[in-house]
Amino acid sequence: MIGVLITARMGSSRLPKKHLIEANHKSLLYWLIKRFEFEFEKEIQSQKICLIITTSEKPDNKNFSIATEGTSCQIFQGSDNNIPLRHLQCAKHFNLSHVISVDGDDILCSTQAAREVYGQMMQHSEHTSFSITGLPIGMNLGGYTVAYLEESINNQSNKKLETGWGRIFKNPVTWSKSLGEYDIMGDLRFTLDYEEDATFFCQVINFLKEKIISISDKELITFVEKNNLYKINSSLKEIYWNNYNSEKENEMSKDNKSSND
């Protein structure tokens, strides 16, 4: 079975409980789940794919049940601050062969991208990792075999791996496909980190309502551009990338210090 693992946690320092902010009478995370549930309805029914929120073991993360109510999505609680280890724990628990990795902040992540990755995974090729590029930030995704994940996390299970944790993967045999020509550092911003991001997602979902579940990438991006909705949060890109790089450098610095002790 292939798992679509949606990584999220309640304890965001910049926007606490951000995934449970409501748009069109449901949480933002609910709409992310429903988009993937719609795309993979047949595969979920035939038990070829499962949807799982992978969160930390902290008790308040049980509140994600608000977002999963009425869906097929399950919740798995694992490692608190090591995301790839949490993915491995989840994969072992559900006996998964592959992981499609979705950031829970990416509320409108491309289901077309997931479909492309799933198709390649089903071919049982020699690839150990899978990547979609070319879409705006917050819409691309990737994945990997569980065997490769286990090999990569070896000797790193005690580290903090939350920001830029893809650095654990060494010498991957990667399948990659571009679905557009967008710059992830451009003005289009489909990720949830600040209040302006929440406002952006709420406006998009409140306008499109149930159509948000089935809308194509092209239609969605065109809608956002045509209505100038990207202006709501495009000013955050410099702040976002500065914070991202700073947090990643801090983690790597602690890793190096721990290795040298």
Residue 260 included in any domain? no
| Nearest CA-CA partner of 103 in 123, 132, 63 | 132
Residue 177 included in any domain? yes
Looking at this protein, which amino acid is placed at residue 182? Y
Rounded CA-CA distance 72/30 in Å is 11
pLDDT value at position 256? 56
Residue 86 included in any domain? yes
pLDDT value at position 203? 98
Residue 261 included in any domain? no
**Are the beta carbons of 41 and 220 closer than 8 angstroms?**
no
The domain in which residue 198 lies consists of 2-255
Count of CB atoms situated within 10 Å of the CB of 92: 12
Total domains in the chain come to: 1
Q: Residue 239: which CATH number?
A: 3.90.550.10
Q: Where are the beta strands (DSSP E) in 57-112?
A: 74-78, 98-103
How many Cα atoms are found within 13 Å in the side-chain-facing hemisphere of 54? 30
**DSSP assignment of the chain, as one string?**
-EEEEEE--S--SSSTTGGG-EETTEEHHHHHHHHHHHHTHHHHHTTSEEEEEEEES-GGGGGGHHHHTTSS-EEEEE-SSBHHHHHHHHHHHHT-SEEEEEETT-TT--HHHHHHHHHHHTTT-S-SEEEEESSPBTT--EEEEHHHHHHHHTT-TTS-B-SSGGGG--S--EEEEE-----TTSS-B----SHHHHHHHHHHHHHHGGGGGT--HHHHHHHHHHTTGGGGTGGGHHHHHHHHHHHHHHHHHHHHHHHH-
Mind listing the pLDDT tens digit for each residue in 218-249?
A: 999 999 999 999 999 999 988 877 777 776 67
Residue 205 included in any domain? yes
Residue 99 included in any domain? yes
pLDDT value at position 14? 83
pLDDT value at position 160? 80
Q: Which residues of the chain have pLDDT under 70?
A: 247-248, 251-261
Task: Classify strands 74-78 and 49-56 as parallel, antiparallel or unpaired.
Answer: parallel
Residue 73 included in any domain? yes
pLDDT value at position 260? 46
Residue 114 included in any domain? yes
pLDDT value at position 135? 98
